[in-house]
Amino acid sequence: MDAPLLFLCLMMLMAVVMDGNEDQGSRLRGLWMLSMKDSKQKNKGVPPPHPIRGLVKQQLLYCKVGIGYHLQILSNGTIGGVHEPTEHSFLKLFAMKRGVVGIRGIKSGLYLCMSRDGIAHGAGQFSSDCLFKEILEENHYTTFSSLPHPGIYLALSQKGEVKRGTSVRKHQSCTHFLPRIAR
């Protein structure tokens, strides 16, 4: 048994013992079963079916530039901002590893990706361009920089349009997002 799998099993066991809640225990057993299935697939050379695993939070990403905008991923792949949240503003942020996340629009089903030229777009297939480094800044806002293309940041303009990621830096307010739990 490899170290990460052993660690996961121990963490699940500790959570069940400390909590004692049957629902939590059954949920953790389900996660453990998914982990075991993925481990068996890796040994057989079969890729996992989907990058989103486990519990995922439904969130809004709010940018306080201009009048304030919520990031949205439209069904045609367009990225933008809207003042009042719409059905396209609800996003799933999922962790791929520590500090690295993927973002998917719930309504559109598209992943947020950043090209080498700094253009944000929605894509149906998850790829390395869809990985973002999530950084908590000193002002408690979060910035998202492209993992495969360092120095390229996700940003919205004063009008709520997506800005080219190569023309902005992390200290600018147009790159600062506040994750908000959707209710």
State percent of the chain over pLDDT 90.
66
Residues 6+ apart with CB under 8 A from 102: 51, 52, 93, 94, 96, 111, 112, 126, 130, 131, 132
* DSSP label at residue 75: T
Beta bridge partners of 132: 101, 146
Residues 6+ apart with CB under 8 A from 98: none
Segment 36-84, tens digit of pLDDT: 665 655 555 544 445 555 555 689 999 999 899 999 999 999 999 999 9
Segment 82-103, tens digit of pLDDT: 999 999 999 999 999 999 999 9
Task: Report the pLDDT value the prediction gives residue 181, as an integer from 0 to 100.
Answer: 85
Task: Report the pLDDT value the prediction gives residue 127, as an integer from 0 to 100.
Answer: 94
pTM recorded for the entire structure? 0.69
CA atoms within 13 A on the CB side of 43: 8
